[in-house]
Amino acid sequence: MSDFWGGFRADPRISENARLRAADTDRAQVTAQLDEAYADGRLSAEEHGERVDRALAAVTLGELPPLVADLLPVGSPAALTRAAALPALRTQAEAAYRRERQEALGGFLLPSLVCLVIWSLTMAGGFFWPAFIILGTGAHLISTVIRREDIVEKKVSSLQRHQQRELRRERDRRKRTSDDPEGRDRDRERDERGDGGDDAPR
């Protein structure tokens, strides 16, 4: 069954994996758990900041488990939810990569063909200057193809950070509402009026 540790490329608790280099997605898995623990009040602001700094600075997988050892029981529902969300984020990241690869292909073919046509009409048999365009745009396309996994992982990490920011904003909003009953009533009144209130356009 998937759990929190299933969200890593390799289980960092296994000694053979501890020496492996940590990826951005591995660090993001830990910082997401730390964010949740801070929002729940299990970590102080100082503890949260210190552990997040250590997670982001982690070089190997073995450095990550101690940061959440006192926060995450085996089989935690929150951990299962996050682990289940990772495949969906990876699907989004792979779709974004395919769009990026398609753009790189278009950026290679169109300029190359245009330059070849111009060269064939004006300088056929002369200096083959389109080679510079072909090499430049081709190098970008090749780099995009061979760096596929790295690009996808970075996109997954970016999606996770965005997801966590949205989650924190929602928690902050709920906390402000719970701490300010009058503000909650005002929000409800605005919703009943159609989210306009006195500032709504007339």
Q: Give per-residue pLDDT as tens, 72-129.
A: 765 544 544 555 556 677 888 889 999 999 999 999 999 999 999 999 888 877 889 9
Instruction: Write phi, then psi, for 59 (nearest 5 degrees).
Output: -100, -40
3-class SS of residue 60: strand
Each residue's pLDDT tens digit, 139-196? 999 999 999 989 988 888 888 788 778 777 777 776 676 665 555 556 566 656 655 4
Residue 139 confidence (pLDDT): 93
Residue 143 confidence (pLDDT): 92
Cβ(68)–Cβ(34) below 8 Å = yes
Task: From 36, 68, 39, select the one nearest 172 (Cα to Cα).
Answer: 39
The owner of tokens 């999606």 is 159
Count of CB atoms within 10 A of residue 103's CB? 13
Furthest C-alpha separation in the chain: 81
Cβ(51)–Cβ(43) below 8 Å = yes
- Alpha-carbon separation of residue 22 from 66, 106, 188 (angstroms): 14, 34, 46
Residue 16 confidence (pLDDT): 82
Our CA angle for 154, 159, 162, nearest 5°, is: 125
Interval 29-55 mean pLDDT: 91
User: What contacts 24+ positions apart, CB below 8 Å, involve 84-92?
Assistant: 84/2, 85/163, 86/7, 86/25, 86/29, 86/156, 89/156, 89/159, 89/160, 89/163, 90/152, 90/156, 92/155, 92/159
Q: Band of the pLDDT at 17, cuts 50, 70, 90?
A: confident
- Alpha-carbon separation of residue 120 from 5, 33, 114, 123 (angstroms): 59, 60, 10, 6
pTM: 0.46
